[in-house]
A and B are shown apart, each in its own frame.
Chain A
Amino acid sequence: GIQVEQSPPDLILQEGANSTLRCNFSDSVNNLQWFHQNPWGQLINLFYIPSGTKQNGRLSATTVATERYSLLYISSSQTTDSGVYFCAVEEYGGSQGNLIFGKGTKLSVKP
């Protein structure tokens, strides 16, 4: 089955810094989603981005499907950005809606 690898596994930032999180996947995908799990455990859908670039406030994401990777950019980080960021993909030809999750990047933003 498809492999989803996220890097880095851990990231510590000072408030105000920018960061880039990466998601590599081993095969073609139908869709790719980025999620943020906050310190209270809630999973928030940040982007549905099978290809191209999207922006939402200080966050933006880019997926280059032909090269099998996606990037999540966080600018001017805030302490509320802390948590775990997950990339999840739906394998091309796989069961529709079957999201395969990476192991996540744990982000800690210090004041």
Chain B
Amino acid sequence: DTAVSQTPKYLVTQMGNDKSIKCEQNLGHDTMYWYKQDSKKFLKIMFSYNNKELIINETVPNRFSPKSPDKAHLNLHINSLELGDSAVYFCASSQGSGSQPQHFGDGTRLSIL
């Protein structure tokens, strides 16, 4: 009965590859987010979607492309992976795009060799 689930939990790949991370929430929320946590534990928002519509698009390289097929899913595709992309990526969700509590998945640890 996981609320926000991400797959895979770990992702190890070579520089230059393309990879995707999937996120699903069963909380009935209509807003989903992607965050990046770097090696110093600093958390920064990347994107948010409300009812499949892009709301927040922070300064993120074009190699990162989010896709929301429905309001329960938000996937993150990354092209041409670079060493600096190594991080933990968290998906989160909330009810409404306004000021509401956000609930996080367990994270995907991406390691670029």
A31 at the interface (CB under 8 A from B): yes
Residues facing B in A1-54 (CB within 8 A) are 30-31, 33, 35, 37, 41-45, 48, 50
CB of A72 closer than 8 Å to a CB of B = no
Number of chain B interface residues as a range: 20 to 34
Q: Is B112 an interface residue (CB 8 A)?
A: no
**A86-B43 contact in complex given A45-B103, A97-B94, C-beta closer than 8 Å:** yes
> Which residues of B in the span 43-98 have a Cβ within 8 Å of any Cβ on A?
43-45, 48, 50, 55-56, 58, 88, 90, 94, 97-98
A96 to chain B: which residues have CB within 8 Å? 55, 97-99
Is A45's CB under 8 angstroms from B107's CB?
no
Q: A43-B104, A96-B97 are in contact. List 19 more A-B contacts (CB 8 A).
A: A31-B100, A33-B102, A41-B88, A41-B109, A44-B104, A45-B103, A45-B104, A48-B100, A50-B99, A86-B43, A95-B56, A96-B98, A96-B99, A97-B33, A97-B48, A97-B98, A98-B48, A99-B102, A101-B42
